[in-house]
Amino acid sequence: MQLNKEINKRRTFGIISHPDAGKTTLTEKLLLFGGAIQEAGAVKSNKIKKGATSDFMEIERQRGISVATSVLAFNYKEKKINILDTPGHKDFAEDTFRTLTAVDSVIVVIDVAKGVEEQTEKLVEVCRMRNIPMIIFINKLDREGKDAFDLLDEVEQKLGLKVTPLSFPIGMGYDFKGIYNVWEKNINLFSGDSKKNIEETIAFDDVNNPELEKIIGEKAAEELRENLELVYEVYPDFDKDAYMKSELQPVFFGSALNNFGVRELLDCFVEIAPPPLPKKAEERLVKPNEEAFTGFVFKIHANMDPRHRDRLAFIKIVSGTFERNTPYLHVRHNKNLKFSSPNAFFAEKKEIVDISYAGDIVGLHDTGNFKIGDTLTQGEVLNFKGIPSFSPEHFRYINNADPMKAKQLDKGINQLMDEGVAQLFTLEINNRKVIGTVGALQYEVIQYRLEHEYGAKCSYENLPVHKACWVDPVDSNSKEFAEFKRVKQKFLAKDKQGQLVFFADSAFSIQMTQQKYPNVKLHFVSEYK
């Protein structure tokens, strides 16, 4: 059956890591193998100032970081691969958490010198909560770094994972000779030439063969034999079922910048990674091979092309097929919408597609109908779960710095908040607008985008708030709730969805409020309604 065949071809995954571990570079090299690009954009010489292919927002190019999730696709070995390249910077973690609701598996990139870092721990925790299958890629082997076994121990201990190496380095840094591919039983020699698309591979079933000395030298051959003996003794054999259940994580070593070890990772990935998986809605479990289309918005991106004020809603197709010019039910608005130009992506290139299948990501032009978490179906009322909004860490009043541009500022703020860049709160007492973010860098991004995309200028004032708590009264007509609202009126605001929020100035304040008003529940996470 055509639908099943198409679904089984698809692999939709996210790449996650701490900033600077080489995630965007790895994305590019995967695209090179897929023939999707001819040269890597990570050429950072002084003569050629080229940004990475997946970083298309001006501020990303200036800073050299990814601040928005890019959606990229390519074909490889008869599989259609969809990559979601997520921001590594912790100030944009919320975008990454939401993106993880749209992937079926994940590749975690770790820097060989720095090992497991804080942001990686947080992101892997989210993957473990959702049982997302993970492959680990230890990057930058051409640099001096930690011992391979120490790194494997660190991954197990800090991330709480159970690993099995499917490739193993021969030396490291200056002594780096290449990689022994445990998965395919061959040796990949490292030449250090980043212009070479594919390195030399030598089939090598038996590492005890004396030929090994001739290829990599006596010392390296002896060391490799000892290391592999340890690998086979200490680590479990790869088991696909355990990987799919997120109980076992294969590990690959390489250097993305030098395009080394990437093919091994990709070849294994297309074999073992899951096709589109079922997804839980509030009403029932939705399976990808159901005939009827269902999908949900996990990201909104405005002004991908600054010359055209376009806004795209990214939809993950959960089941069935999405067809152009077919009416679908927007569940929250309870109205049918038709899309004449749904987009598929390759970095900055977009193309209009007539039909997309479960597992694909489609961009729909949006005039303000969508917000994150919205569901589209062929008529059934479904609401997909698990796209939360977390309590921000930073709070600032936003002021209009150019009174002539009040309309542009309002429009800009509303659109950026719909994208999930930050959260907007309006104080009950005086209607002043407050922006809450996960990290301080987001304020710069908002200011920059308001000016360059909407022609509006803003300034900020600090607001000493410890946490935003969503208010959930047991009885909204009770005297206790009325008293709570009267006493706390200076600290109450509404979020963009109209939900009541309490701004607490300290952890102590939260504790005292909960003791004094036991029937007014306070939440640190708001599921989008």
**Local confidence band at 287 (pLDDT 50, 70, 90 cut-offs):** very high
CB burial of residue 340 (10 Å; 0-12, 13-18, 19+): exposed
Q: What is the pTM of this model?
A: 0.75
Residue 265 lies in a domain: yes
Per-residue pLDDT tens over the stretch 254-269: 888 887 888 888 989 9
Same-domain check for residues 266 and 142: yes
Q: pLDDT at position 49, please?
A: 37
Residue 183 domain-assigned (yes or no): no
**Domain match, 104 and 136 both:** yes
Note whether residue 169 is domain-resident.
yes
Query: Which residues, other chains included, contact 198 with Cβ-Cβ below 8 Å and sequence gap of 6+?
Result: 259, 263
Residues making up the chain, counted from first to last: 529
Q: What is the mean pLDDT of residues 498-520?
A: 91
Establish if 464 belongs to a structural domain.
yes
Structural contact between residues 142 and 31, judged by C-beta atoms closer than 8 angstroms: no
Residue 357 lies in a domain: yes
pLDDT at site 197: 44
> Could you tell me the CATH number of the domain that includes residue 365?
2.40.30.10
Q: What's the rounded Cα separation, in Å, for the pair 396 and 398?
A: 6
Q: Binding site membership: which residues?
A: 17-24, 85-89, 139-142
pLDDT at 388: 62
Question: Residue 106 pairs with which residues in a beta bridge?
Answer: 14, 134
Q: Which helix (H) or strand (E) holds 4?
A: helix 2-9
Mean per-residue pLDDT for 32-52? 47
Q: Are residues 170 and 29 in the same domain?
A: yes
Which residues does 417 contact at the CB level (< 8 Å), separation at least 6?
423, 424, 496
Is position 192 within any domain?
no
Q: How far, CA to CA in Å, does 495 sit from each of 297, 409, 426, 434?
A: 19, 18, 7, 10
Q: What average pLDDT does the chain have?
A: 81
Tell me, yes or no, whether 54 and 126 share the same domain.
yes
**Number of neighbouring beta carbons within 10 Å of residue 438:** 21
Model confidence pLDDT, tens digit, residues 44-92: 333 333 444 444 455 555 544 443 446 778 888 888 888 886 664 554 5
At which of 321, 345, 377 does a domain end?
377
Q: 63 and 163 share a domain?
A: yes
Specify if 208 maps to a domain.
no
Q: State yes or no: pLDDT of 515 exceeds 80.
A: yes
Tokens of 24: 């965007």
Distance between CA atoms of 330 and 378, rounded to whole angstroms?
9
Pick from 42-51, 97-106, 379-388, 504-513: least confident: 42-51
Residues 222 and 170: beta-carbon distance below 8 Å: no
421 vs 166, residue with greater confidence: 166
Q: Residue 16: beta bridge partners?
A: 108
Q: Which residue has the higher pLDDT, 241 or 344?
A: 241
Determine which of 49-58, 130-139, 321-330 has the lowest per-residue pLDDT on average: 49-58
Q: Based on C-alpha coordinates, what's the Rg of the chain?
A: 25
Q: State whether 114 and 142 are in the same domain.
A: yes
- What is the total count of domains within the chain? 3
CA distances from 437 to 93, 181, 208, 388, 446 (A): 10, 43, 56, 14, 10
Q: 103 and 41: one domain?
A: yes
Contact (Cβ atoms closer than 8 angstroms) between residue 22 and residue 115: no
Span 157-182, mean pLDDT?
84
CB atoms near residue 305 (< 10 Å): 11
Q: For the chain, what is the total number of helices (H) and then of strands (E)?
A: 14, 33
Same domain? For 157 and 251 the reply is yes
CATH of the domain at 434: 3.30.70.3280
Say yes or no: 359 and 397 in one domain. Answer: no
What would the two tokens of residue 10 be?
A: 């698809």
The half-sphere exposure of 524 on its side-chain side, counting CA atoms within 13 A, is 8
- Do residues 166 and 261 touch, judged by C-beta distance below 8 A? no
Residues 297 and 252 occupy one common structural domain: no
Judged against a pLDDT cut of 90, whether residue 173 lies above it is answered with no
Which residues are part of a known binding site for GTP?
A: 17-24, 85-89, 139-142
pLDDT in the model for residue 329: 93
Task: Spell out the alpha helix ranges (H) of 21-147.
Answer: 23-33, 58-63, 93-99, 118-129
Query: What CATH number has the domain bearing residue 127?
Result: 3.40.50.300
Name the pLDDT band for 205 (thresholds 50, 70, 90). low
Which whole number is the average pLDDT over 6-24? 84
Does 109 map to a domain? yes
pLDDT category at 198 given cuts 50, 70, 90 is very low
Share of the chain above pLDDT 70, in %: 83
CB 378 within 8 A of CB 442: no
* Structural domain containing residue 469: 388-527
The answer to whether residues 364 and 501 belong to one domain is no
Residues 411 and 301 in one domain: no
Q: Are 158 and 121 in contact (CB under 8 A)?
A: yes
The residue among 244, 272, 300 that closes a domain is 272
Residue type, 31: L
Structural contact between residues 260 and 181, judged by C-beta atoms closer than 8 angstroms? no
Q: With beta carbons less than 8 A apart as the criterion, state whether 76 and 8 touch.
A: no
Query: Does residue 100 register a pLDDT over 90?
Result: no
